[in-house]
Structure 1
């Protein structure tokens, strides 16, 4: 399999930046991984905090143990919705950029190897 396809599949299905590590492009791989995973970590942190707040309200008796009320609390937009949206886009765009850039760089390496074989 060509390096371009392998690198893009690694970035798509393993981790953002994994394809760059496969291509030995460690700096850009680290940058893409850090950006994408920072967005993901923020989203996970917010989800855990939201669950903790709701469970504390249930345990204290402030919120009754009713599935409709709990569902309404869970689906309400958070107070910091703009940051959650930003983190979501950072994660998605970081992952997409990682996939396309890994393919682009892998394709360039494939072309370089093909030229070297022709000589």
Structure 2
């Protein structure tokens, strides 16, 4: 298997930018790894904060154990805001970009 194909598969299936390490392009791989880690960390923090709030409301009896009401509460929480949408977009762009860049690097070596 060509190194570029292996790098693209590693970036696609494991984590964006890791395939660049196979191509010995660590600094370039960090251009994909760091933003993805920061964006994923932000999304995880926002999600865990919402889950904590929901669990507290469920335990206190403020929110009944009804899936539709919980879903309504999630939508009204404001989790779907420009910051979370931007973080999700960063993850998607870095993932697709790292695969394309790994293929491009392998072909232009």
Whether the TM-score (by the shorter chain) exceeds 0.5 is yes
1:73-112 maps to which residues of 2 (within 5 A)? 73-76=73-76, 78=78, 81-109=81-109
State the shift of 1:20 in Å.
0.5
What is the DSSP-based 3-state SS (H/G/I as helix, E as strand, rest coil) of the residue aligned with 2:16?
coil
Q: CA 1:72/1:31 → structure 2, altered by over 3 Å: closer, same or farther?
A: same
Secondary structure at the aligned position of 2:63 is classed as coil
Deviates more, 1:70-79 or 1:95-104: 70-79
Max radius of gyration: which structure?
1
Query: Which sits farther off after the overlay, 40-49 or 66-75?
Result: 66-75
Please, what TM-score do these two structures have when normalized by structure 1? Answer: 0.83
**Moved >6 Å (runs of 4+):** none
Unmatched 5+ stretches in structure 1: 110-119
1:28 and 2:28 aligned: yes
CA-CA distance at 1:66 after TM superposition: 2.5
Q: Give, in whole Å, the separation in 1 of the partners of 2:32 and 2:39.
A: 11
What is the root-mean-square deviation of aligned Cα atoms in Å? 1.6
- 1:13 matched residue in structure 2: 13
Q: For the residues of structure 1 that align with 2:36 and 2:23, how far apart are their CA atoms?
A: 19
Q: Which residue of 2 aligns with 1:45?
A: 45
State the partner residue of 2:62: 62
What residue ranges of structure 2 are gaps of 5+ in the alignment? none
